[in-house]
Amino acid sequence: MFQDERASLVPYVGPFDGFHAVPASVSKTCLVRFDKNRYSVDGRAVGRPVEIRAYAERVEFWQDGKIVGRHARAFGRDKAIYDPLHYIPVLARKPGALRNGAPFKDWDLPPAIRRVQRKLGKVPNGDRQMVQILSMIPIDGLAAVDAACAQALNEGVPAASVVINILARHREPPPPLTIDTPAALRLTCEPVADCKRYDSLRRPDHGKITSAGRDEPTEALPERSRGVILGCR
Highest mean pLDDT out of 100-104, 160-164, 195-199:
160-164
Of 171, 200, 215, at which residue does a domain stop? 171
Higher pLDDT, 207 or 156: 156
* Residue 12 predicted with pLDDT over 90: no
Beta strand extents in the chain (DSSP E only): 20-24, 31-34, 37-40, 50-54, 58-63, 66-72, 80-81
Of 61, 81, 101, at which residue does a domain stop? 81
Mean pLDDT of 86-97: 88
> Looking at the domain assignment, is residue 56 inside a domain?
yes
pTM for the model stands at 0.65
| Domain, as residue range, for 144 | 86-171
**Exposure of 103 in the CB half-sphere (CA atoms within 13 A):** 22
Dihedrals phi, psi of 37, to nearest 5 degrees = -130, 165
Rounded-to-integer distance, Cα 193 and Cα 134, Å: 53
| % of the chain at pLDDT higher than 90 | 53
Indicate the range of 38-47, 57-66, 211-220 predicted with least confidence: 211-220
Q: Are 95 and 127 in contact (CB under 8 A)?
A: yes
> Looking at the domain assignment, is residue 226 inside a domain?
no
Rounded-to-integer distance, Cα 229 and Cα 196, Å: 12
pLDDT at 196: 82
Of 124, 144, 171, at which residue does a domain stop? 171
Task: Give one DSSP letter per residue of 156-189, joined into a string.
Answer: T---HHHHHHHHHHHHSPPPPPPPPPPGGGS-SS
pLDDT at 214: 53
- The domain total for the chain is 2
- Same domain for 90 and 42, yes or no, is no
Amino acid sitting at position 148:
A
> Looking at the domain assignment, is residue 178 inside a domain?
no
> Looking at the domain assignment, is residue 1 inside a domain?
no
- Rg for the chain, CA atoms, rounded: 34
Give the dihedral sign, CA 127/130/132/135: negative
> Looking at the domain assignment, is residue 202 inside a domain?
no
| Distance from the first to the final alpha carbon of the chain | 85
Amino acid sitting at position 78:
D
Indicate the range of 35-44, 62-71, 185-194, 199-208 predicted with least confidence: 199-208
Q: Are 78 and 37 in contact (CB under 8 A)?
A: yes
* Residue 220 predicted with pLDDT over 60: no
How many CB atoms are located within 10 Å of the residue 51 CB? Answer: 16
